[in-house]
Amino acid sequence: MAGETVLVTGGSGYIGGWCIVPLLQQGYTVRTTVRSLSREAEVRARLAAEAPTDKLSFFAADLLSDAGWDEAATGCDYVLHVASPLGVGGATAETLIKPAREGAIRAVRAAIKAGVKRVVLTSSVSATDPPMDAPFGTTDETVWTDPAGKGVSAYAQSKTLAERAAWDLIGREGGATSLAVVNPGLVLGPVLGADYSDSVQVVERLMTGRVPGVPRLGFSLVDVRDVADLHLKAMLAPGAAGQRFIAAHDFRWMAEIAEVLRARLGPKAAKVPTRKVPDLVVRLVSLFDKDLREVTPYLGQKRVFSSAKAQTLLGWRPRPVDETIVDCAESLIAHGLA
């Protein structure tokens, strides 16, 4: 309800920022956490391009430290716990699992202590994945990733362990505070500025020609604005308490994403490669490229995640993914990033 106060953790991030925008537009008072308050001016300016920021305030809190969490949550009606490190750029189990899991516990514990009505945790479809060697059809929220499973990435471990820890804590100590979880697929859509999420690299690398060809990789895509919308729906709907919701729309191979960019952007997509890269070449290059190493187990895998539950229970209506792909590329161009 307008006038209520919502804490969104990780306001400097892609999804965090896009969650703050509709909350401010709808008249909520919004608090956000950043690791250092030195980033306030930059983050506020980025958000101000989309929504009035007079009802937005900043708190310093690091996922790895107890400091700041209680102060940020006290007096809030809801908490959206979005902040967590992503899995590319040489991230390891050590750099991912500890902040994800301990940060989820810190944020949820502070929310319970503050007596907020509901926490919405941003998890991932990486926490709803069947075993890598199992035949893969369409999966849903009933599936849990086995963090000790063969080929499970450090990122998937971090998201699964963090989500489990949040459910356990709410189960033990939640009291009147309920939990709902959003599990997004690969998130694309417009960026708010140069500090965008690693997921946007899928479009950025194609647009800038940073990849010489297109690997046989595919993703269940979703628009960042629709992910934010699902967070808000999960925050408010009485029936969302105690539920996980996959936020993933259509599956697209990278070759199909490249095709959409070329067809819809014409000369602006001149650097988008057309050549397909054989799996063997990707595996060889991945020996020297840590980012690629993370994704090689997924080569050729069509892993589809159903969002039927969010659509049926919460009336969530994600936009067509081709629009998401084009809006992502257009925003990179507008910000001088592609």
Q: Considering the rule CB under 6 A, would residue 35 count as an interface residue with ligand NAP?
A: yes
Close Cβ partners of 94 (under 8 Å, ≥ 6 residues apart): none
Nearer to ligand NAP, 120 or 186 (CB): 186
Binding letters toward ligand NAP, positions 147-186, x by CB under 6 A: ------------x------------------------x-x
Query: Binders of ligand NAP among 196-225, rule CB under 6 A?
Result: 197, 199
Q: Does 273 bind ligand NAP (CB under 6 A)?
A: no
Structure tokens at 316: 């969530």
Point out which span in 7-15, 44-52, 169-177, 304-312 binds ligand NAP (CB under 6 A): 7-15
Q: Are 197 and 13 in contact (CB under 8 A)?
A: yes
CA angle centred on 78, ends 72 and 79, rounded to 5°: 55
Q: Which single residue is written with the structure tokens 């029936």?
A: 239
Name the residue nearer to ligand NAP (CB basis): 28 or 219. Answer: 219
* Pairing outcome for strands 138-139 and 186-188: unpaired
Q: Does 68 bind ligand NAP (CB under 6 A)?
A: no
Residue type, 222: V
Binding piece for ligand NAP, criterion CB under 6 A, among 6-14, 70-78, 276-284, 311-319: 6-14
Long-range contacts of 235-238 (CB under 8 A, 24+ apart): 235/6, 235/78, 235/80, 235/118, 235/120, 235/180, 237/313, 237/314
| Active site annotation includes 309 | no
Which positions from 112 through 151 interact with ligand NAP, judged by CB under 6 A? 122, 124
Closest listed residue to residue 248, CA positions, set 207, 273, 287, 219: 219
Catalytic residue among 117, 159, 290, 302: 159
Interface with ligand NAP (CB under 6 A): 10, 12-16, 35, 62-64, 82-86, 99, 122, 124, 159, 184, 186-187, 197, 199
Active site residues: 159
